[in-house]
């Protein structure tokens, strides 16, 4: 069971509009979370690792199905498509549809890296009524493209008679990846620690993405989709640190944590309320300071994305070799 402190932190996150998502490293940890009833009772969704057997994915989906059925954009299980297909739209779409058909659960989210091919496939899947976890969103420009793909896909789903409230979307920003790349560049530049801006690169990006989504939700397109039952895309922060539980708090967001990271976050003390809304100017200043210190954030984001995709592809190759 989780500690009393961890349970209290979960309650605070949920009260602030932050959905706690379970992030685990392997299928054994996922099975343990199902046995301990952490899914549903504590965590409201799950990000499962590559290579998780389909039966384990189904068990996780079944554990979270009551939350999904109750509505509110909860109860999803995110499962990755083969990252080796990330730049081949046709193969990626076929793989995503096959994965969705294999799991056979309404609350499964197909996880796609947001390459150009991934964004095109996202639109097709949403038009089919299949939920998507849009991963590796590391810039405002990429997030804007993803939100455009979301609108196009949901408009097509509406025209096809799909029940929009069942088509859920998470837009995931791996704040930890950007932090690591920015920190490495700062170290190479020799910038003094006192010159660092208040907050990290990842946290500043989160605040800018939150602002971007809020601006898009004020548009005419969203009013049409909402009137037909669509839920807004949820921003999901991944790969962060325990400190991010307090630093990335905003309505209709999600934070992916392992049980161990959650316990560490709980020991840091209570939340300080919303830390994203209205913080975009401070975030922009943080980006300006980082650029002044020699950190090219566009380049850092591109490098972080490329390295993560290569890591995912290599890991998939290794698992495929072992299983064969």
Burial of 223 from C-beta contacts in 10 A (0-12 / 13-18 / 19+): exposed
Q: pLDDT at residue 324 above 60?
A: no
269 band by pLDDT with thresholds 50, 70 and 90: confident
Could you read off the pLDDT of 297-322 as tens digits, one per residue? 999 999 999 999 999 999 999 888 77
Higher-confidence residue: 305 or 26?
Answer: 305
Could you read off the pLDDT of 77-123 as tens digits, one per residue? 999 999 999 999 999 999 999 999 999 999 999 999 999 999 999 99
pLDDT at 196: 62
Give CA torsion, residues 67, 149, 118, 207, to 10 deg: -70
Return mean pLDDT, the chain. Answer: 93
Report the sign of the C-alpha dihedral through residues 310, 234, 265, 283, in that order. Answer: positive
Mean pLDDT of the region 19-24: 96
Mean pLDDT of the region 152-177: 96
pLDDT at 158: 96
Token code pair at residue 166 = 């069942």
Range of the domain at 257: 4-323
Q: Determine how many CB atoms are found less than 10 A away from the CB of residue 56.
A: 16
pLDDT at 310: 96
Higher-confidence residue: 219 or 238?
Answer: 238
Residue 208 to residue 4: CA distance in whole angstroms: 33
User: Could you tell me if 112 and 134 are in contact, meaning their C-beta atoms sit under 8 angstroms apart?
Assistant: yes
Mean pLDDT of the region 41-62: 95
Query: What is the percent of the chain with per-residue pLDDT over 70, rounded to a whole number?
Result: 97
Q: pLDDT at residue 193 above 70?
A: no
Q: pLDDT at residue 198 above 80?
A: no
Could you read off the pLDDT of 236-251 as tens digits, one per residue? 999 988 888 999 999 9
| Residue among 206, 185, 209, 207 nearest 196 (CA) | 185
* CATH code of the domain in which 144 resides: 3.20.20.70
| 3-state secondary structure string across 79-129 | EECCHHHCCCHHHHHHHHHHHHHHHCCCCEEEEEECCHHHHHHHHHHHHHC
* H/E stretch holding 47: strand 45-47
Q: pLDDT at residue 164 above 60?
A: yes
Q: Determine how many CB atoms are found less than 10 A away from the CB of residue 31.
A: 17
Q: pLDDT at residue 221 above 90?
A: no
3-class secondary-structure state, position 59: helix
Q: pLDDT at residue 215 above 60?
A: yes
Q: pLDDT at residue 40 above 90?
A: yes
Query: What is the percent of the chain with per-residue pLDDT over 90, rounded to a whole number?
Result: 85
Number of domains forming the structure of the chain:
1
């Amino acid at each position: 069971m989780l500690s009393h402190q961890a349970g209290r932190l979960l309650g605070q996150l949920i009260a602030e509009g932050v959905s706690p998502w379970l992030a685990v490293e392997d299928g054994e940890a996922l099975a343990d979370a199902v046995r301990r009833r952490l899914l549903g009772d504590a965590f409201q969704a799950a990000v499962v690792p590559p290579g998780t057997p389909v039966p384990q994915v189904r068990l996780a989906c079944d554990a979270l199905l009551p939350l999904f059925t109750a509505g509110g954009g909860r109860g999803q299980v995110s499962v990755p498509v083969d990252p080796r297909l990330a730049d081949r739209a046709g193969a990626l779409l076929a793989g995503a549809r096959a994965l969705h058909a294999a799991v056979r659960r309404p609350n499964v989210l197909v996880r796609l890296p947001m390459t150009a091919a991934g964004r095109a496939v996202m639109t097709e899947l949403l038009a089919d009524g299949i939920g998507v976890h849009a991963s590796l969103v590391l810039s405002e420009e990429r997030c804007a493209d993803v939100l455009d793909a979301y609108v196009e896909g949901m408009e097509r789903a509406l025209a096809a008679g799909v029940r929009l409230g069942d088509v859920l979307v998470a837009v995931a920003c791996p704040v930890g990846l950007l932090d690591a790349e920015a920190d490495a560049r700062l170290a190479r530049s020799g910038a003094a620690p006192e010159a660092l801006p208040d907050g990290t690169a990842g946290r500043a990006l989160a605040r800018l993405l939150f602002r971007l989504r809020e601006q898009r939700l004020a548009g005419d397109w969203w009013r049409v989709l909402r009137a037909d039952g669509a839920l807004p895309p949820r921003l999901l922060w991944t790969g962060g640190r325990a400190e991010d539980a307090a630093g990335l708090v905003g309505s209709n967001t999600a934070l992916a944590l392992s049980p161990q990271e959650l316990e560490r976050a709980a020991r840091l003390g209570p939340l300080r309320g919303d830390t994203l809304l209205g913080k975009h100017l401070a975030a922009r200043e943080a980006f300006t300071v980082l650029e002044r210190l020699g950190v090219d954030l566009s380049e850092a984001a591109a490098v972080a994305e490329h390295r993560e995709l290569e890591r995912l592809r290599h890991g998939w190759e290794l698992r495929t070799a072992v299983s064969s």
